[in-house]
Structure 1
Amino acid sequence: MPHNDIREHMDVVGADDLPIGTVDRVDGDHIKLARTDPEAGGEHHLIPIAWVEEVDADTVRLSLVAEDVMEQWEPTGL
């Protein structure tokens, strides 16, 4: 999945359509999620671009369900 289609402020949802967060930016081969999202707990998280299943006009849909993503995402500590 080409990451050029992923833009700031796009919604990120799991395969189950549950919200995961909002794109802050693409950082190498990861998506950095905004720390202001309710799911973020006040810190940025990184998710691999390899988890992206589909990108449409304003949503990034992942191949994992939301619960699995949040168990495996990487907090940045910032």
Structure 2
Amino acid sequence: MDDVIIPVAFFLILAGAVVSVAYFQTQRNKERDRQYADAMNGYREAVERARSEQEANRLQLVELGHRLEKVEGLLRSVD
């Protein structure tokens, strides 16, 4: 009976160590995933801002193109 206590205690301690290491690794991975999600959300917002600014720039270019056509028409009419 005394020969069984030491191996059982050893395996219980080993199992407890494995479970605790796995638990802390899981917690660390959850925190890393949360940080990754926050970073992706920031990138998504930056992309949306860039898209809206790009659309505004495109509209300004179209407006400038129309104005340039009008100026070209005026210059051709002077000839």
TM-score exceeds 0.5: no
Based on CA coordinates, which of the two structures has the bigger radius of gyration? 2
**Please, what TM-score do these two structures have when normalized by structure 2?**
0.16
**Please, what TM-score do these two structures have when normalized by structure 1?**
0.16
More helix by share: 2
User: Which structure has the higher relative contact order (CA within 8 Å, separation 6+)?
Assistant: 1
